Structure 1
Amino acid sequence: MSSDKNSVKNTNQQIESVFASSMRSYTLTALDYYDQLFSAQMDSARAYSDMAISQARTWLDVKDQESFKNALETQQKTATEFMERVKGDTAKVTSIGQSFTQDSQKMAEETTKKAAETAKQ
């Protein structure tokens, strides 16, 4: 009877060690990934809306030929800033995704290694 209890206890410890703790680690990594991704998207959305509102205000101030010329110049500058922002945001999201992928692969390898070691016991 004592042997059965030890066997069950050992099995539970192995399951905790190999699978449950690995799933918790993966879940934490996934939550961090989604938090970073959501934050990046919110920052981008805020920056894009600020640019759009600023441009709308610039065009509302057009009253003569000189202010029209200034609005066009501002629009060109904003378009350049927008493209740079998109490029930077794309790089940021790509980096976040690559980091998540690498962390996930590392965890999968560690879990597989633990499972193989546990199976040998």
Structure 2
Amino acid sequence: MSAEKTKSDGNQSSERSSERAKGQFDNAVLEPARAYGALTTDYFEKLFSVQFESVRVFADKNLAQSRSWLEVKDSDSFRQVVEKQQQAVRELSEQMKKDADRIQALSQEYLKETQQLTSESMHSGSKQLEENMQKGKAQVEGQFQKGKEEVGNSQQKSQRQADNSKKSTSTSDK
């Protein structure tokens, strides 16, 4: 009966240890990986949005300029198209600067959030390691104490048996 109880206790302990290890793995690896994946996906979504918008604006301006050249009929209309083209170039330059600033801000935000995520993950991992070290130390100390008690009990039992053996020998000698 005692062996079955010990085996059952061992299985339960093993299951608890497995669950604890799974939880630690989830906290240490899976959760940070998911958070990093979400952060990276959001960053690229915003980046592509800025780039696509920039390409759309560039394409629209260029198509408008191409159409305006089709309407040149005299020197006055030619002068107007050239002026519009210069204005379009200035506007595109300003747009490119704005887009570059937006991309730089997105990249800085992404870098900051990635560093924060890494820092939190490292802090969590170090805390978990410290907790595991404390638990391991407590288990070793508990096992050491248990072993010490068992040795003491075994010595006492051996001493009693030796005493009983001496008593029975001295009683049988009389």
> RMSD value over aligned CA atoms?
0.7
Match of 2:59 in 1: 49
Shift of 1:112: 0.4
Shift of 1:29: 0.5
Match of 1:35 in 2: 45
1:59 partnered with 2:69: yes
TM-score (norm 1): 0.97
1:65-119 deviation digits (Å, cap 9, x = unpaired): 0000001110110111011001000001111111111111100000000000000
Distance 2:124 2:28 in 1: 6
Match of 2:121 in 1: 111
* SS of aligned partner of 1:78: helix
1:85 partnered with 2:95: yes
Q: For the pair shown, which has the larger CA radius of gyration, 1 or 2?
A: 2
* SS of aligned partner of 2:57: helix
Match of 1:68 in 2: 78
Identity of aligned residues (%): 27
Distance 1:40 1:72 in 2: 29
For structure 1, the residue ranges without an aligned partner over 5 or more in a row are none
Shift of 1:17: 1.3
1:15-64 deviation digits (Å, cap 9, x = unpaired): 11121111111111111001001111110000000010011011111110
Shift of 1:5: 1.1
- Segments ≥4 residues shifted beyond 6 Å: none
1:14 partnered with 2:24: yes
* SS of aligned partner of 1:45: helix
Distance 2:54 2:105 in 1: 15
TM-score (norm 2): 0.68
